[in-house]
Amino acid sequence: MIDYPKLRNWAFPDVEHRYTCDDTIRYALALGVGSNPTDEGQLKFVNDVVEGTPFAMPTMAVILGFPGSWMQAPETGIDFSKIVHGEELLVIHHPLPASATIVARHRIVRIVDKGPTRGATVTYDKDVIDQQTGLLYATVTHTTFARGDGGFSAASGLTDEATAAPQRTPDGEPHAAIELATLPQQALMYRMSADRNPLHSTPEVAHAAGFERPILHGLCTYGIASRALLETYCGSDPRRLKRLFARFTAPVYPGETIRVEMYREGSTVLFRARVKERDRVVLDFGAAELSE
Protein backbone atom coordinates (compact mmCIF):
# COMPACT_ATOMS: atom_id res chain seq x y z
CA MET A 1 0.00 0.00 0.00
CA ILE A 2 1.15 3.53 -0.73
CA ASP A 3 2.89 5.26 2.17
CA TYR A 4 1.92 8.84 1.37
CA PRO A 5 4.73 10.70 3.24
CA LYS A 6 7.42 8.38 1.86
CA LEU A 7 6.18 8.54 -1.72
CA ARG A 8 5.40 12.26 -1.63
CA ASN A 9 9.02 12.94 -0.63
CA TRP A 10 10.57 10.42 -2.99
CA ALA A 11 14.15 11.42 -3.81
CA PHE A 12 15.04 11.20 -7.49
CA PRO A 13 18.67 11.45 -8.59
CA ASP A 14 19.36 13.89 -11.40
CA VAL A 15 19.49 12.12 -14.76
CA GLU A 16 22.06 13.33 -17.29
CA HIS A 17 21.19 12.60 -20.92
CA ARG A 18 23.32 13.44 -23.93
CA TYR A 19 21.54 13.27 -27.28
CA THR A 20 22.80 13.90 -30.80
CA CYS A 21 21.34 15.02 -34.14
CA ASP A 22 21.02 11.34 -35.04
CA ASP A 23 18.89 10.76 -31.94
CA THR A 24 16.70 13.73 -32.87
CA ILE A 25 16.18 12.37 -36.38
CA ARG A 26 15.57 8.86 -35.07
CA TYR A 27 12.85 10.12 -32.73
CA ALA A 28 11.09 12.01 -35.53
CA LEU A 29 11.23 8.97 -37.80
CA ALA A 30 9.70 6.89 -35.00
CA LEU A 31 6.68 9.25 -35.10
CA GLY A 32 6.31 8.66 -38.83
CA VAL A 33 7.83 11.99 -39.86
CA GLY A 34 9.29 11.62 -43.33
CA SER A 35 6.45 9.43 -44.59
CA ASN A 36 6.33 11.92 -47.47
CA PRO A 37 10.04 12.33 -48.31
CA THR A 38 9.37 15.31 -50.58
CA ASP A 39 7.46 17.34 -47.96
CA GLU A 40 9.76 20.18 -46.87
CA GLY A 41 7.84 20.56 -43.61
CA GLN A 42 8.64 16.97 -42.66
CA LEU A 43 12.17 16.98 -44.03
CA LYS A 44 13.40 19.67 -41.66
CA PHE A 45 12.93 17.20 -38.79
CA VAL A 46 14.66 14.25 -40.46
CA ASN A 47 17.26 15.80 -42.77
CA ASP A 48 20.50 17.41 -41.64
CA VAL A 49 21.66 18.68 -45.04
CA VAL A 50 20.14 22.15 -44.79
CA GLU A 51 21.93 24.45 -42.34
CA GLY A 52 20.10 24.70 -39.03
CA THR A 53 18.38 21.33 -39.36
CA PRO A 54 17.26 18.96 -38.05
CA PHE A 55 14.65 20.64 -35.87
CA ALA A 56 13.72 18.71 -32.74
CA MET A 57 10.12 17.60 -32.39
CA PRO A 58 8.83 19.36 -29.25
CA THR A 59 7.56 16.11 -27.73
CA MET A 60 11.08 14.69 -27.68
CA ALA A 61 11.30 16.36 -24.27
CA VAL A 62 9.04 13.64 -22.82
CA ILE A 63 11.60 10.88 -23.49
CA LEU A 64 14.73 12.72 -22.32
CA GLY A 65 16.16 11.88 -18.89
CA PHE A 66 13.99 8.81 -18.29
CA PRO A 67 14.08 8.03 -14.53
CA GLY A 68 13.77 4.27 -15.01
CA SER A 69 11.06 1.98 -13.66
CA TRP A 70 11.24 3.52 -10.20
CA MET A 71 7.65 2.60 -9.39
CA GLN A 72 8.77 -1.05 -9.25
CA ALA A 73 10.69 -0.33 -6.05
CA PRO A 74 8.86 -2.06 -3.15
CA GLU A 75 9.33 1.04 -0.98
CA THR A 76 6.90 3.02 -3.19
CA GLY A 77 4.05 0.78 -2.06
CA ILE A 78 2.69 0.89 -5.63
CA ASP A 79 1.23 -2.25 -7.21
CA PHE A 80 3.35 -1.99 -10.34
CA SER A 81 1.41 -4.71 -12.17
CA LYS A 82 -1.70 -2.52 -12.20
CA ILE A 83 -0.37 0.87 -13.28
CA VAL A 84 -1.29 2.52 -16.57
CA HIS A 85 -0.27 5.83 -18.09
CA GLY A 86 -3.05 8.32 -17.37
CA GLU A 87 -2.15 11.79 -18.64
CA GLU A 88 0.77 13.75 -20.05
CA LEU A 89 1.36 17.50 -20.04
CA LEU A 90 4.27 19.16 -21.83
CA VAL A 91 5.08 22.84 -21.27
CA ILE A 92 7.79 24.18 -23.58
CA HIS A 93 9.81 27.09 -22.24
CA HIS A 94 12.48 27.10 -24.98
CA PRO A 95 12.72 24.92 -28.11
CA LEU A 96 14.99 21.92 -27.79
CA PRO A 97 18.20 22.14 -29.83
CA ALA A 98 19.09 19.38 -32.28
CA SER A 99 21.74 18.09 -29.88
CA ALA A 100 22.59 18.82 -26.26
CA THR A 101 23.38 17.37 -22.87
CA ILE A 102 20.47 17.86 -20.54
CA VAL A 103 19.81 17.22 -16.88
CA ALA A 104 16.38 15.92 -15.92
CA ARG A 105 15.11 16.72 -12.43
CA HIS A 106 12.03 14.86 -11.21
CA ARG A 107 9.75 15.46 -8.24
CA ILE A 108 6.44 14.08 -7.00
CA VAL A 109 3.78 16.80 -7.10
CA ARG A 110 0.50 15.04 -6.32
CA ILE A 111 -0.83 11.72 -4.99
CA VAL A 112 -4.61 11.40 -5.03
CA ASP A 113 -6.61 8.63 -3.39
CA LYS A 114 -9.68 8.11 -5.58
CA GLY A 115 -11.22 5.54 -3.22
CA PRO A 116 -10.82 1.89 -2.20
CA THR A 117 -12.19 0.52 -5.47
CA ARG A 118 -11.18 3.39 -7.75
CA GLY A 119 -7.40 3.42 -7.51
CA ALA A 120 -5.04 6.36 -7.08
CA THR A 121 -3.12 8.77 -9.26
CA VAL A 122 0.56 9.59 -8.88
CA THR A 123 1.80 12.73 -10.64
CA TYR A 124 5.40 13.78 -11.03
CA ASP A 125 7.13 16.62 -12.85
CA LYS A 126 10.33 16.59 -14.85
CA ASP A 127 12.35 19.70 -15.67
CA VAL A 128 14.57 19.36 -18.75
CA ILE A 129 17.56 21.67 -18.20
CA ASP A 130 20.61 22.40 -20.34
CA GLN A 131 23.61 21.07 -18.48
CA GLN A 132 25.97 23.85 -19.57
CA THR A 133 23.77 26.95 -19.46
CA GLY A 134 21.07 25.99 -16.96
CA LEU A 135 18.39 26.97 -19.51
CA LEU A 136 15.03 25.32 -18.77
CA TYR A 137 13.78 23.78 -22.01
CA ALA A 138 10.61 22.07 -20.85
CA THR A 139 8.55 20.83 -17.93
CA VAL A 140 6.82 17.49 -18.33
CA THR A 141 4.02 16.40 -15.97
CA HIS A 142 3.35 12.67 -16.01
CA THR A 143 0.33 11.14 -14.31
CA THR A 144 0.14 7.42 -13.62
CA PHE A 145 -3.14 5.72 -12.73
CA ALA A 146 -2.37 3.18 -10.02
CA ARG A 147 -5.44 0.99 -10.32
CA GLY A 148 -4.60 -1.22 -7.35
CA ASP A 149 -3.75 1.46 -4.81
CA GLY A 150 -7.00 3.16 -3.89
CA GLY A 151 -7.88 3.54 -0.21
CA PHE A 152 -4.36 4.27 1.03
CA SER A 153 -5.55 7.39 2.91
CA ALA A 154 -8.07 5.54 5.08
CA ALA A 155 -5.74 5.28 8.05
CA SER A 156 -3.81 8.55 7.85
CA GLY A 157 -6.21 10.82 6.00
CA LEU A 158 -3.30 11.99 3.86
CA THR A 159 -4.05 12.58 0.20
CA ASP A 160 -3.73 15.48 -2.22
CA GLU A 161 -6.64 17.30 -3.81
CA ALA A 162 -7.40 16.29 -7.36
CA THR A 163 -6.89 18.87 -10.07
CA ALA A 164 -9.82 20.34 -11.98
CA ALA A 165 -11.14 18.17 -14.78
CA PRO A 166 -9.60 19.04 -18.16
CA GLN A 167 -11.68 20.79 -20.78
CA ARG A 168 -13.79 18.32 -22.71
CA THR A 169 -13.14 17.91 -26.41
CA PRO A 170 -16.13 19.20 -28.41
CA ASP A 171 -18.44 16.88 -30.30
CA GLY A 172 -19.54 17.48 -33.84
CA GLU A 173 -17.61 18.04 -37.03
CA PRO A 174 -14.00 18.99 -36.28
CA HIS A 175 -12.50 22.16 -37.73
CA ALA A 176 -9.67 20.03 -39.10
CA ALA A 177 -8.76 16.36 -39.13
CA ILE A 178 -5.72 14.50 -40.32
CA GLU A 179 -5.17 10.76 -40.68
CA LEU A 180 -1.69 9.40 -40.04
CA ALA A 181 -0.91 5.77 -40.72
CA THR A 182 1.38 3.86 -38.39
CA LEU A 183 3.69 1.11 -39.56
CA PRO A 184 3.54 -2.50 -38.32
CA GLN A 185 7.05 -1.98 -36.94
CA GLN A 186 6.30 1.43 -35.39
CA ALA A 187 6.67 0.29 -31.77
CA LEU A 188 9.95 -1.44 -32.58
CA MET A 189 11.21 1.83 -34.04
CA TYR A 190 9.96 3.97 -31.16
CA ARG A 191 11.53 1.76 -28.49
CA MET A 192 14.96 2.59 -29.93
CA SER A 193 14.42 6.15 -28.68
CA ALA A 194 12.58 5.48 -25.45
CA ASP A 195 10.70 2.85 -23.46
CA ARG A 196 12.04 -0.71 -23.88
CA ASN A 197 9.07 -2.31 -22.08
CA PRO A 198 8.56 -5.74 -23.75
CA LEU A 199 4.82 -5.02 -23.84
CA HIS A 200 5.65 -3.12 -27.04
CA SER A 201 7.90 -5.73 -28.63
CA THR A 202 7.25 -9.26 -27.34
CA PRO A 203 4.02 -11.07 -28.31
CA GLU A 204 4.07 -13.36 -25.25
CA VAL A 205 4.25 -10.39 -22.86
CA ALA A 206 1.44 -8.59 -24.72
CA HIS A 207 -0.76 -11.71 -24.60
CA ALA A 208 -0.16 -12.08 -20.85
CA ALA A 209 -1.29 -8.46 -20.41
CA GLY A 210 -4.52 -9.14 -22.29
CA PHE A 211 -3.61 -7.74 -25.72
CA GLU A 212 -3.76 -9.61 -29.00
CA ARG A 213 -0.27 -8.40 -29.91
CA PRO A 214 2.30 -5.77 -28.83
CA ILE A 215 0.82 -2.29 -28.55
CA LEU A 216 2.19 1.09 -29.56
CA HIS A 217 3.67 3.26 -26.82
CA GLY A 218 1.17 5.80 -25.57
CA LEU A 219 3.83 8.51 -25.84
CA CYS A 220 4.31 7.59 -29.49
CA THR A 221 0.61 8.24 -30.07
CA TYR A 222 1.05 11.51 -28.14
CA GLY A 223 3.95 12.47 -30.42
CA ILE A 224 1.95 11.59 -33.51
CA ALA A 225 -0.84 13.89 -32.30
CA SER A 226 1.73 16.69 -31.91
CA ARG A 227 2.84 16.07 -35.47
CA ALA A 228 -0.77 16.51 -36.67
CA LEU A 229 -1.06 19.79 -34.77
CA LEU A 230 2.24 21.12 -36.12
CA GLU A 231 1.37 20.23 -39.70
CA THR A 232 -2.19 21.58 -39.51
CA TYR A 233 -1.81 24.82 -37.55
CA CYS A 234 1.89 25.65 -37.21
CA GLY A 235 3.33 25.28 -40.69
CA SER A 236 5.53 22.54 -39.16
CA ASP A 237 7.29 25.16 -37.04
CA PRO A 238 8.06 23.51 -33.67
CA ARG A 239 8.59 26.89 -32.00
CA ARG A 240 4.85 27.58 -32.15
CA LEU A 241 3.80 24.70 -29.89
CA LYS A 242 3.91 25.92 -26.28
CA ARG A 243 1.81 23.42 -24.34
CA LEU A 244 0.37 19.97 -25.03
CA PHE A 245 -1.95 17.91 -22.83
CA ALA A 246 -3.75 14.63 -23.44
CA ARG A 247 -5.39 11.79 -21.53
CA PHE A 248 -4.66 8.22 -22.63
CA THR A 249 -7.87 6.24 -23.08
CA ALA A 250 -7.02 3.16 -25.17
CA PRO A 251 -4.03 1.54 -26.90
CA VAL A 252 -3.08 1.60 -30.56
CA TYR A 253 -1.88 -1.47 -32.42
CA PRO A 254 1.04 -0.77 -34.78
CA GLY A 255 -0.21 -0.62 -38.35
CA GLU A 256 -3.45 1.15 -37.47
CA THR A 257 -4.39 4.64 -38.68
CA ILE A 258 -4.64 7.45 -36.16
CA ARG A 259 -7.17 10.14 -36.96
CA VAL A 260 -6.56 13.39 -35.07
CA GLU A 261 -9.68 15.60 -34.84
CA MET A 262 -9.02 19.24 -33.98
CA TYR A 263 -11.18 22.15 -32.84
CA ARG A 264 -9.52 25.56 -32.77
CA GLU A 265 -10.51 28.21 -30.23
CA GLY A 266 -8.15 31.16 -30.69
CA SER A 267 -4.66 30.11 -29.66
CA THR A 268 -5.98 26.85 -28.21
CA VAL A 269 -6.62 23.70 -30.21
CA LEU A 270 -8.72 21.03 -28.51
CA PHE A 271 -8.32 17.57 -29.98
CA ARG A 272 -8.89 13.86 -29.71
CA ALA A 273 -7.27 10.97 -31.53
CA ARG A 274 -9.04 7.83 -32.57
CA VAL A 275 -8.05 4.62 -34.32
CA LYS A 276 -9.82 4.75 -37.67
CA GLU A 277 -10.11 0.99 -38.14
CA ARG A 278 -11.82 0.37 -34.77
CA ASP A 279 -13.37 3.83 -34.25
CA ARG A 280 -11.82 3.83 -30.78
CA VAL A 281 -10.73 7.04 -29.05
CA VAL A 282 -7.13 6.61 -27.88
CA LEU A 283 -6.35 10.19 -26.76
CA ASP A 284 -9.01 12.46 -25.31
CA PHE A 285 -9.34 15.85 -23.58
CA GLY A 286 -6.40 16.99 -25.74
CA ALA A 287 -5.41 20.65 -25.60
CA ALA A 288 -2.57 22.46 -27.33
CA GLU A 289 -1.52 26.08 -26.82
CA LEU A 290 0.01 27.77 -29.86
CA SER A 291 1.88 31.02 -30.31
CA GLU A 292 1.22 33.28 -33.25
Q: Catalytic residues, which ones?
A: 195, 200
Q: Vertex 129, ends 126 and 132: CA angle to 5°?
A: 155
Q: From start to end of 20-118, where are the E strands?
A: 83-92, 100-115
CA distance 150 to 77: 11
Helix (H), strand (E) at residue 271: strand 268-275
Write the DSSP string, 37-55: TT-HHHHHHH--SSTT-PP
CA distance 14 to 127: 10
3-state DSSP assignment of residue 209 = coil
